Amino acid sequence: MRFLSLPIAATSLVLVFFTACSESDPSKSLLITGSSTVAPVVADAAQRYEKENPGLRIDVQTGGSSRGISDSRSGLAQLGMASRALKADENDIDAETIAMDGVCLIVHKDNPVKGLSRDEIAAIYQKKKSNWAEFGASNADIVVASKAEGRATLEVFLGYTNLDSADIQADVIVGENQQAIKTVAGNPNAIAYVSIGAAASEAKAGTPIKLIYIDGIEPTTENVAKGTFPITRPLNVITKGEGTELSRAFLEYLKSDKIRDIIETHLYVPVSQ
Amino acid sequence: MSRSLSDCILKSSLGFAALLSGSVIVAVIAFLFHEAWPALSSGKLSHFLTDLKWQPGSDRDPQYGIAPMILASILVTLLASLIAIPLGVGGAIFQQFYAPTFLGNIHDRLLELLAGIPSVIFGFWGLTVLVPAINKWHPPGQSLLAAALVLALMILPTVGLTSRSAIRSLDPGLLQGAAALGIGRPSMILRVILPAAFQGIGSGCLLAIARAVGETLAVVMVCGNIAQIPHSVFDPVRPITSTIALEMGYASSDHRALLYASGLILVVMTGALVGWQSFRREPLTPSQKG
ipTM of predicted assembly, 2 dp? 0.79
pLDDT above 50: residue A19: no
Residue B59 has pLDDT above 60, yes or no: yes
Q: What is the CATH number of the domain that holds A200?
A: 3.40.190.10
Which of B1, B13, B124 is opposite residue A1, by nearest beta carbon? Answer: B1
Which residues on chain B are in Cβ contact (under 8 Å) with A166?
53, 55, 58, 60-61, 63
* pLDDT band at residue A36 under the 50/70/90 scheme: confident
A251 touches chain B (CB under 8 A): no
pLDDT at B48: 80
Q: Does A38 touch chain B (CB under 8 A)?
A: no
pLDDT in tens, B134-144: 998 988 899 99
Residue A79, pLDDT > 50, answer yes
pLDDT tens profile B67-107: 999 999 999 999 999 999 999 999 999 998 899 999 999 99
Kindly determine whether residue B128 and residue A186, on different chains, have CB atoms separated by under 8 Å: yes
Assess contact for B221 and A179: CB atoms under 8 A. Answer: yes
Question: How far B208 CA sits from the closest chain A CA (Å)?
Answer: 27
Domain match, A79 and A152 both = no
The mean pLDDT value for B182-186 works out to: 88
Please judge whether B221 and A4 are an interchain contact, meaning their C-beta atoms are less than 8 angstroms apart: no
For B101-130, the pLDDT digits (tens) are 999 999 999 999 999 999 999 999 999 999
Whether B238 has its CB under 8 Å from any CB of chain A: the answer is yes
What is the percent of chain B with per-residue pLDDT over 90, rounded to a whole number?
A: 60
| Pair A211, A246 in one domain | no
Measured in angstroms, the CA of A4 and the nearest CA of chain B are apart by: 8
**Do residue A33 and residue A108 come from a single domain?**
no
| Among the partner residues B6, B236, B250, nearest to A150 by beta-carbon distance | B250
Average predicted confidence (pLDDT) for chain B: 89
Same domain, A133 and A196: yes
pLDDT at B237: 95
Average pLDDT over residues B52-65: 83
Separation in Å, CA A219 to CA A267, B123, B205: 12, 30, 51
Average pLDDT, chain A: 88
Residue A75 CB burial class (10 angstroms; 0-12, 13-18, ≥19):
exposed
A82 and A151 inside one domain: no
Q: Does B290 have pLDDT greater than 80?
A: no
pLDDT attached to residue B64: 86
The pLDDT, as a whole number, for residue A152 is: 85
Checking if the pLDDT of A247 tops 90, the result is yes
Q: Are residues A172 and A252 in the same domain?
A: no
pLDDT band at A121 (very low <50, low <70, confident <90, very high): very high
Q: For A147, name the nearest residue in chain B, comparing CA atoms only.
A: B246
Please check the confidence at residue B156 and state whether its pLDDT lies above 90: yes
Q: What is the pLDDT of residue B142?
A: 93
Confidence (pLDDT) at A22: 47
Name which of A242, A234, A235, A244 is nearest A58 in CA terms.
Answer: A244
Q: Is it the case that residue B239 has pLDDT exceeding 90?
A: yes
* Model pTM score: 0.83
Candidate from A160-174, A206-220, B1-15 with smallest mean pLDDT: B1-15
Task: For chains A and B, count residue pairs whose Cβ atoms are closer than 8 Å.
Answer: 104
- Asked if the C-beta of B249 comes within 8 angstroms of chain A's C-beta atoms, the answer is yes
Considering the domain architecture, whether residues A73 and A176 belong to the same structural domain is answered as no
| Interface membership of B127 toward A (CB under 8 Å) | yes
A120 and A179 share one domain: yes
Whether the CB of A131 is below 8 Å from some CB of chain B: the reply is no
Is the same domain home to A121 and A198? yes
Asked whether residue A33 falls in the same domain as residue A12, the answer is yes
**In terms of domains, do A116 and A201 share one?**
yes
* Cβ-nearest to A148 among B13, B225, B252: B225
Res. B286: pLDDT tops 60: no
* CB contacts, 8 Å: A1 with chain B: 1, 6
- Whether A150 and chain B come into contact, CB under 8 Å, resolves to yes
Cα–Cα distance, A136 to A113 (Å, whole number): 7
CA angle in degrees (0–180, nearest 5) for B74-B80-B81: 90
Pairing of strands A29-34, A57-62: parallel
Range of the domain at A79: 2-99+234-270
A109/A205 same-domain check: yes
> Quick one: average pLDDT of B178-187?
89
Q: How many domains is chain A partitioned into structurally? A: 2
pLDDT at A129 over 70: yes
**Contacts of residue A179 in chain B, CB cutoff 8 Å?**
127, 221
